[in-house]
Structure 1
Amino acid sequence: GEWDTKEFTEMRNNLLKELKINYDPINNEAIMEKLKSHEELLKDNNNEVILEQLKSHEKLLKENNEVIFEKLKSYDEKLGKLEELEKLLKEIRAK
């Protein structure tokens, strides 16, 4: 069906109120500008949140990499000791 002018005016006034526009513009430029600024703020806020999350994930990855590196060093040392023991065992068996 067709829109009732009263219904349309009421919706428009609610939108103006929601966007905190205190005057009734003749055209939709004020509404579009306000929506654009809200959209930009939302985009900026989302980008900031994403950047913070990336920094947090990067920090966690770095910490995890350090832990893994330390474990690898420890395993490498243990492997070296096992190889020494194996060499000594072969020498003992050879005698």
Structure 2
Amino acid sequence: MVAGSVQTIAVCGPAFGAINVAGRSISCGTDVNGNPLYVTTMQAYVLDPSSAAYIDAIAQPFDYVQAAGFWGLAFTTIISLWLVSHGAGAIVNFVRRA
């Protein structure tokens, strides 16, 4: 499933690689320090609108509470299985030695 494509886009940035029209760069404002910004191009991976919901769903922050719950369940399950198998082994050894 393709989520997007690589496209050339126009952005407002420093003078490096500025787009020239009639020998002049196109100004688009200034930055915080007062340095001039010009229209430049760059390649970017642009998402397809139909896949935006999928990307947003998987880009959620890590939930430590849910992860701790899964880890606790897994740890409890492993310890329980070990205790059951240890008890079964004790019973088998008792029957074998009787």
Same fold at TM > 0.5 = no
Structure having the higher strand fraction is 2
Using CA pairs below 8 Å that are at least 6 residues apart, which structure has the higher relative contact order? 2
TM-score bucket of the superposed structures, by smaller chain: 0.3 to 0.5
Query: TM-score, normalized by length of structure 1?
Result: 0.43
Higher normalized helix content (fraction of residues): 1
TM normalised by structure 2 equals 0.42
